[in-house]
Amino acid sequence: MKEFPHVYSIDARSLPEGFVRLSSVGVTELESAPPAEFDGPGNRWSPEGLLLAAVADCFSLSFRASARASSLEWRELCCEARGTLDRVEGRLRFTSIELRATLRVPGGSRTDRAERLLRKAEQSCPVSASLATPIALDVTVIEE
């Protein structure tokens, strides 16, 4: 890992109509638009969706790192993120984020250990730690 601080740079380009083009050096460009709830087309990533995606992705990558460091064998992690956007004191904000993580592990695994690592991942995710919104984690570990 590189030394801290890490600095990330994203460019957002927009015209009066159409999509916002999000880019960063070395990665595929994304197009975003307002979600259907804000009268957008509903067929592109939205800032709201990208925020939830960042939380779920960071959780998943944090778990991967914790599992590797702990030599935990696992097969698949599925993480669903659900956020509630509401008006609070005259401003729109996410009032809650729920993560539902389902981890598949080989038969005979210590599921309690896997669950602890999932909870550790939520605590160590820098994206989640940067948000004021409460994040609730529901975990399921399935032996296969």
Each residue of 89-121: pLDDT tens digit? Answer: 999 999 999 999 999 999 999 999 999 999 999
Q: What pLDDT score was predicted for residue 38? A: 96
Alpha helices in 1-144 (DSSP H): 47-69, 111-124, 126-129
Angle ∠(62,129,9) on CA atoms, nearest 5: 80
Q: How confident is the model at residue 142 (pLDDT cuts 50, 70, 90)?
A: very high
Residue 21: Cβ within 10 Å count: 14
User: Looking up tokens 């602890």, which residue turns up?
Assistant: 116
Distance CA 54, CA 125 (A): 10
Q: What pLDDT score was predicted for residue 37? A: 97
